[in-house]
Structure 1
Amino acid sequence: MIRPGLHRLFHLFAVALPVLIFCLPAMAIDIPVPKVELTITQAKYPKEMALSLELLLIFTVLSLAPSLVMMLTAYTRVFIVLSFVERAIGLQQLPPRQILAGMAMFLTFYIMAPTFTVIYHEAVMPFYNQEVPTQTAYAKTMHELRKFMFSQTREKDLGLFFRLSSTPAPKSRGGVPTHILVPAFMLSEMKTAFTMGIIIYIPFIVIDMVVASVLMSMGMIMVPPAMISLPIKVLIFVLVNGWDLLAYSIVKSYHLV
């Protein structure tokens, strides 16, 4: 049996539904709907064409911004080292990749803060205040980024790409093309990151070997060594304040401390 309250609610819904159905079209007429048009017309002046190309270039650069962050900053080294720590401890999805990427990003901002500060004061703000043209702002930005990349790039890696391109090595850094400097910088970053990762890996490998040897000597062959070594590695990493040491080592590798 239907309760009186539910019965009244049913009647109210039955009466309101047709009203809403017939009134919604009338209500929709009063609501202005914007119309968006995208038209392509012929440029009357060369400046209009140049402005369109600049806008297209800006949107292209914005779409490539994540790749530029990885290629021209300290992000590559930081993320690889953090990934090595995750693999060395043996944790599968802890911390998640998103957390590692976020931590790597903010450590990158910290490491790149001196460079970004100079770019902001000497390139971004003058360009925003219309004191310098786009070309000057771009040149100052690339000058600071190249200065940072040169400080972390090995001469051997630069020489490798000069040999691959059959280009004679210049006498000064100003003559090094950016398309040679960037891959050499990334190669140096990966070499340094893998070197740091191997050094981080060694203590955890020792723990795994010790645990496996103890289990073998006790005759516990059926017990997976990872089941015992994982909490031990996590405990040791926490006791030695591993995250602080890791962040300090990464920043120290850029000679900022």
Structure 2
Amino acid sequence: MNEIIKTSKNRKVIFKKALVIMPIFVILFFLTATKAHGAELSVEGLLAGESSDTVKIIVLMTLIAIVPTLLLMMTCFGRIIIVLSFLRSALGLQQTPPNQILVGLALAITFFVMSPVLTEINTVALQPYNAGTIDSQQFLDLAVDPIKEWMLMQTTTTDVDLFKSLSVQAGQTGIENMAPQDLPLTIVIPAFIISELKRAFLIGFLLFIPFLIIDMIVSSVLMSMGMMMLPPVMISMPFKLMLFVVVDGWGLLVKTLIMTYN
């Protein structure tokens, strides 16, 4: 048994080391391939706007690696998946619906809510960049503005002021009098995440109340009948499922989640 545990621990350590080493090998591979074809990678060349297919591939791979993180930090996906998890717990279900279904539903709602922002980014940033009228730096600036404006609409002033004060204490200057739209992403993103967590937990609390009442009623009835050995969850779960289906719970929940965004 101890040998099995040691083997599993060794595999985890090897896997973690591989995750760290693999990106380094990938970068070295592209650098070697670039030199083999007579190309040069230099900071001066990148700043001057020189185009390189190898650089584009490296940037693309980096973006693919951080897309899940960006999805969690800068969209409504976090609030939605937390609320859906609260719903499953309130119903007393362990693995139904499965995690894949919840993530798929959360992604679908996320794309629905974020579609105006994505359309604006495509119009003001992506299409001009593909047409060659703007460079990479202008593309990033124009693409960040719509998502930052959307995040600020969902973020409370208290959370923004909190991270502004923390930044001032850390030694950053010139932030106190900045307008919200001029704040850097290092302040907007954590403030947005905190606001999303607050709202998700509030919605989860409201979800628990009707199902908690059903559990209390079932427990009281079982105790009055002297059936204390029977788990109340076994009896209350069908009633909670029936209530959720009768009131069109999925439709109401999805509508409520979408309506919570401006």
State the SS of the aligned residue for 1:64: helix
State yes or no: 1:183 paired with 2:183. no
State the SS of the aligned residue for 2:33: coil
Match for residue 156 of structure 2? 154
Deviation, structure 1 residue 174: 3.3
Q: Which runs of 5+ in 2 are unaligned?
A: 1-29, 47-51
Deviation, structure 1 residue 150: 0.4
Distance 2:140 2:186 in 1: 16
State yes or no: 1:198 paired with 2:205. yes
- After TM superposition, the score normalised by the length of structure 1 is 0.80
Deviation, structure 1 residue 131: 2.2
State the SS of the aligned residue for 2:235: helix
Cα 1:125/1:80, change in 2 over 3 Å: same
Deviation, structure 1 residue 181: 0.6
Match for residue 242 of structure 2? 235
State the SS of the aligned residue for 1:145: helix
Letter in 1 for 2:251: D
Letter in 1 for 2:33: T
Residues 169, 176 of structure 1: 8 Å contact kept: no
Distance 2:40 2:226 in 1: 87
State yes or no: 1:208 paired with 2:215. yes
Distance 1:153 1:204 in 2: 30
Letter in 1 for 2:221: V
Match for residue 146 of structure 2? 144
Cα 1:45/1:189, change in 2 over 3 Å: closer
Match for residue 4 of structure 1? none
Distance 1:47 1:181 in 2: 29
Cα deviations by residue, 1:204-225 (Å, 9 ceiling, x for unpaired): 1111011000000011111100
Match for residue 24 of structure 1? none
Match for residue 61 of structure 1? 63
Match for residue 112 of structure 1? 114
Number of residue equivalences: 220
2:98 aligns with one of 96, 99, 112: 96
Letter in 2 for 1:207: I
State the SS of the aligned residue for 1:229: helix
2:80 aligns with one of 78, 81, 85: 78
Match for residue 127 of structure 2? 125
Deviation, structure 1 residue 107: 0.1
Distance 2:42 2:223 in 1: 80
Letter in 2 for 1:131: T
Distance 1:45 1:70 in 2: 32
Residues 86, 207 of structure 2: 8 Å contact kept: yes
State yes or no: 1:39 paired with 2:33. yes
Structure of greater Rg: 1
Cα 1:44/1:233, change in 2 over 3 Å: closer
Cα 1:113/1:44, change in 2 over 3 Å: closer
Match for residue 222 of structure 1? 229
Residues 159, 191 of structure 2: 8 Å contact kept: yes
Cα deviations by residue, 1:41-86 (Å, 9 ceiling, x for unpaired): 1745858953355543332122110110111011011111111101
